[in-house]
Amino acid sequence: MIRVVTLDELDPADLAFLTRSLYRAFGLGTEYAGDRPMPDGAEGKDGRVDAVALLRDAAPVRTFADDKVLYVASAPLSLPPGPLGEPPCWGFAEFGKERALVSTARLAARGASESSIEAFQRRLAREAVHAIGHLWDLHHCVDARCAMHPSWSPHLPASPEMDLCPFCRDKSERKIRLAKT
Amino acid sequence: MRGPPPRHPDEQREQLPPVEGFISDAAELAEGVRVVYPNQGVCTVVGIEEKDISGQKLQLVRMRREEDGAAVLVPRNKVPAIGLRKVATGGQIDGVFHYLAAQFDDPELDWKVRHRDNADRLIAGGVLGLAEVVKGLHTLSRLRPLPAKEREQYDNARHLLVHEVAVSLGVSPGLAEDYIDYVLMPPPGVTFDVPPPPAPVLLPPRPRRRKPAAEEEENVLGDLGLGELGIDLDLVAEAEAPEAAGEGATEGEGAEAKEGGEEAEGGAEAVAAAPPADDDAEADEDEVPPPPRAEKKATKAKPEKKAPAAKPKKAPAEKKPAKAEKAEKAAEKKPAKKPAAKAAPKRGGKKK
């Protein structure tokens, strides 16, 4: 089961599209589990929120074995800098565990037109599939058409697909099949 | 009793220095030490225990794989052989990132060599070997889609690299993967000013290619132990050399000599066939031992000689002017041509 939790306000239509997309990508039941407040002091000096700290401090959601929780926030996220700099952050997931986070801050503005709304929804769904994929032990994929391709990659198309490539799909299905529940 | 000859007797494996942090003594494996088991990932030593297996008391090092908690048991005396090593140090990790950030546009295109080398790197290459596999296959994937096996290998290498980097840097695997891919696939406009990457991992040499059949046979003969039996292969080669030289000589004149030899029965070309025979005799007289390759040439030339002999129509075509000249000079040769003329259709008939 995938449980979606909002940390900031999100349009119900976007939420419905998101849950449908996650269900289609992983074949797992997906439901909206309500909203939770943003943890106190999450925002850093530069106005961004440390994704690792946010995921650690976010209010828990009641889950059962193998349930995955996806937090959706609208604040810009940051990551601790690595050996060669700080990677851009669209979301973050505890690899192979149960909590992931995505942010809408880097997505194109939702706008009011049908096409811009659809583009927003599709990109949000893509980032959500990417984050949940990490929870199912999927690594970044070399295929630019796969949802597991890094979000900042220069090879990523302008409107990336929200589907998994056959390799990632097989791997995730295998992992899901082997899960305890 | 002699065993089978080594498969590649001339290609001995070179002893290369072990990778940095290689654990050669089980005494280093104290409880709580983190080590990297090749192709398995980071493990923590739980302790050393003694077990009775098939009546033998074995000392086993018990380890726990950090990723999933799987138990790994290794006999204490096998520790140096399995390639355990310490978790990568900060310097090694810097080298890995510099390697990943470097420009690399020349992946190995021969899939057999690539797959073999990558498998060696995963086992014996240390953390830099993992980075080389990831970088190489990633670069290749930009040129063409990876085949299923290599896609799997790429995923395994990436998994091992991510976990080792995560353990070494003390961050979560998700973050370590972001660091790696930020360097491997930098966003547009981002460039890294890094020092030159470390030298690639040295791999033990592999046998390159199978030798041609003739050379292989020679090697096999060399390994039969004939030397021990008092048989000198060089002397045997010399004894066979004149025959080989004779065949070699006929090779030069090729089809004509052979055809001449066959048609000698017919009589008309018997004179033309004589010179090659003289050449053979000369070769015998000279008794110059040819280089060992002459034998090979002779053996290889055999099928070539048969081919012109099978040509049924060439011989009659060449004989026609001879027939005309000799029919005018001597009537004796006329009956000799008839069997030759008959022979040609027979061959053709057989072929059909």
Strands A49-50 and A99-103: what pairing?
A: unpaired
Give the H/E segment covering residue A120. Answer: helix A114-135
- Residue B52 confidence (pLDDT) above 80: yes
Which helix (H) or strand (E) is A118 found in, with range?
helix A114-135
* Mean of pLDDT values over B9-22: 61
Q: What is the CATH number of domain B26-86?
A: 2.40.10.170
Sequence-distant (6+) residues with CB within 8 A of B114 are B107, B108, B136, B140, B150
Helix axes B173-184, B126-143, angle to 10 degrees: 50
Q: How far is CA B5 from CA B62, B63, B217, B317, in A?
A: 39, 39, 13, 54
> Is this prediction's ipTM beyond 0.90?
yes
Query: What are the Cα distances from residue B158, in Å, to A112, B25, B190, B241?
Result: 41, 28, 22, 59
Report pLDDT for B255.
39
| CB proximity list for B205: less than 8 A, separation 6 or greater | B11, B13, B14
Output the pLDDT for position B225: 57
B90-184 has which fold?
Answer: Methane Monooxygenase Hydroxylase; Chain G, domain 1 (1.20.58)
pLDDT at B345: 44
Q: Mind listing the pLDDT tens digit for each residue in B287-318?
A: 444 444 444 444 443 444 444 444 444 444 44
Q: How many CB atoms lie within 10 A of CB B77?
A: 10
Identify the pLDDT of residue B166.
94
Shortest Cα distance, chain B CAs vs residue A24, angstroms: 24
- Contact: A152, B155; criterion CB under 8 Å: no
Which segment of B2-6, B49-53, B223-227 scores lowest on mean pLDDT? B2-6
- Shortest CB distance from B187 goes to which of A52, A88, A134? A88
Token pair, residue B29, equals 């494996």
Q: Check residue A66 and give its pLDDT.
A: 84
Average pLDDT over residues B143-150: 89
The pairing of strands A77-78 and A49-50 is parallel
Chain B hits for A140, Cβ within 8 Å: 158, 177, 181
Query: In B, which residues are within 8 Å of A171 by CB distance?
Result: 155
Is residue A174 less than 8 Å (CB to CB) from chain B?
A: no
Domain that residue A88 falls in: 2-172
pLDDT, averaged across chain B: 68
Closest CB from B67, B148, B185 relative to A154 = B185
Q: Residue B224 burial by CB count (10 A; 0-12/13-18/19+): exposed, middle or buried?
A: middle
Q: How far is B165 from chain A (nearest CA, A)?
A: 11
Q: Is residue A179 part of a domain?
A: no
**What are the tens digits of pLDDT across the range B74-123?**
998 888 888 888 998 888 899 899 989 887 767 777 888 888 888 988 88
In this predicted model, what pLDDT tens digit does every residue of B152-206 receive, in sequence order?
999 999 999 999 999 999 999 999 999 999 999 998 888 887 777 777 666 666 6
Residue of chain B with shortest Cα separation from A82 = B179
What SS3 class is residue A32? strand
Please write the tens of the pLDDT for every residue from B252-270: 343 343 444 344 343 334 3
pLDDT at B162: 95
Indicate which of A50, A127, A142, A143 best probes the interface with B, i.e. most B CBs within 10 Å of its own CB.
A142
Q: Provide the number of structural domains found in chain A.
A: 1
CA distance B136 to A140: 16
Query: Residue B210: CB partners within 8 Å, gap ≥ 6?
Result: B216
Q: In this complex, is the C-beta atom of B190 within 8 Å of any C-beta atom belonging to chain A?
A: yes
pTM for the full model? 0.68
Minimum CA–CA partner of B95 in chain A: A83
What pLDDT does residue B291 have? 46
3-state secondary structure (DSSP) of residue A110? coil
Structure tokens at B81: 């052989």
State yes or no: pLDDT of B330 exceeds 50: no
> Tokens representing B341?
């003329």
Asked if pLDDT for residue B232 goes beyond 50, the answer is: yes
pLDDT per residue of chain A (181 residues) written in tens, 0 to 9: 899 999 988 899 999 999 999 999 999 999 998 889 888 877 888 889 999 999 988 888 888 888 899 999 999 999 999 888 899 999 999 998 899 999 999 988 888 898 999 999 999 999 999 999 999 999 999 999 999 999 999 888 888 888 999 999 999 999 999 887 6
Tell me, yes or no, if A92 comes closer than 8 A to chain B by beta carbon. yes
B352 or A37: whose pLDDT is higher?
A: A37
Establish if B154 touches chain A: CB-CB under 8 angstroms: yes
Q: What local confidence, expressed as pLDDT, does residue B210 receive?
A: 57
| Residue B233 CB burial class (10 angstroms; 0-12, 13-18, ≥19) | middle
* Partner residues linked to B64 by β-bridges: B44, B71
Task: Find out whether B64 and B46 touch, Cβ atoms under 8 Å.
Answer: yes
Model confidence at B222, in pLDDT bands (50, 70, 90)?
low
Q: In this model, does residue B319 exceed pLDDT 70?
A: no
Interface contact A158, partner B, CB < 8 A:
no
**Which of A116, A113, A112 shows the shortest CA–CA distance to A159?**
A116
User: Measured between CB atoms, which of B175, B183, B185 is closest to A52?
Assistant: B175
State the pLDDT at residue B90: 87
- Position B350 pLDDT exceeds 50: no
* pLDDT of the residue at B295: 43
Residues B43 and B26: their CA atoms lie apart, in Å, by: 15
Give the pLDDT mean for B37-44: 91
CA atoms within 13 A on the CB side of B195: 6
| pLDDT at site B15 | 56
Q: Which of A82, A96, A167 shows the shortest C-beta gap to B182? A: A82
CATH number of the domain encompassing residue A98 = 3.40.390.10
Where are the domains positioned within chain B? Answer: 26-86, 90-184, 211-310, 312-352
Task: Report the gap between the CA of B196 and the closest CA in chain A (Å).
Answer: 14
* Side chain identity at residue B12, one-letter code: Q
Interface residue B65 vs chain A (CB under 8 A): no
